[in-house]
């Protein structure tokens, strides 16, 4: 059986508990980015972005290296694999309740679709011509 390093899991799950940090990781899936690149979409100061990146670094999810005068960040995915391994040990508890999960995800998809499309409420139903 795989032994989990509890301090790794503490740090990884803590790093993942923030939406900005998750979005930064998502961004790094496209390739490496500078700290200021990572800060831009969040309208965030370099200091603020750097703080988040430090949390990701200390969880072992991001590696930072200096290129000329720029700090570049790179995704390190191995610790995410450890987190997934930990979650996998619970699989038998949710596979028996897949119907519940499907319903949750379907509700969420619907909510996301509605939010994205900002559907106008139909005031007059067009008549069916056929």
**Minimal distance, residue 55 CB to a second copy, in Å:** 11
**Minimal distance, residue 97 CB to a second copy, in Å:** 6
- State CA 37 to chain mean position distance: 17
In order, the DSSP letters of 22-36 are HHHHHHHTTS-EEHH
- Interface with a second copy by CB under 8 A: which range of 33-41, 50-58, 94-102, 122-130? 94-102
By CB under 8 A, the count of residues binding a second copy is: 43
| Interface with a second copy, residue 100, by CB under 8 A | yes
Whole-number Å distance between alpha carbons of 111 and 25: 24
Q: Is 52 exposed, middle or buried (0-12, 13-18, 19+ CB in 10 A)?
A: buried
| Interface with a second copy, residue 58, by CB under 8 A | no
**Minimal distance, residue 9 CB to a second copy, in Å:** 7
Backbone φ, ψ for residue 64 (5° rounding)? -110, 135
In the bound state with a second copy, the residue whose beta carbon lies nearer, of 4 and 45, is: 4
Number of Cβ within 10 Å of residue 39's Cβ equals 21
| Interface with a second copy, residue 46, by CB under 8 A | no
In the bound state with a second copy, the residue whose beta carbon lies nearer, of 70 and 85, is: 85
């Amino acid at each position: 059986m795989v032994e989990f390093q509890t301090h790794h899991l503490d740090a990884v799950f803590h790093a993942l508990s923030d939406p900005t940090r998750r979005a930064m990781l998502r961004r790094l899936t496209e390739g490496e980015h500078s700290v200021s690149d990572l800060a831009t979409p969040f309208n965030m100061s370099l200091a603020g972005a750097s703080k988040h990146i430090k949390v990701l670094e200390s969880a072992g999810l991001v590696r930072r290296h200096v290129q000329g005068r720029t700090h570049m960040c790179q995704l390190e995915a191995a610790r995410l694999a450890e987190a997934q391994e930990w979650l996998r040990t619970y699989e038998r508890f949710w596979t028996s309740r897949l119907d519940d999960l499907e319903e949750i995800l379907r509700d969420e998809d619907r909510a996301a679709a509605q939010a994205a499309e900002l559907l106008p409420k139909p005031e007059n139903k067009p008549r069916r011509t056929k």
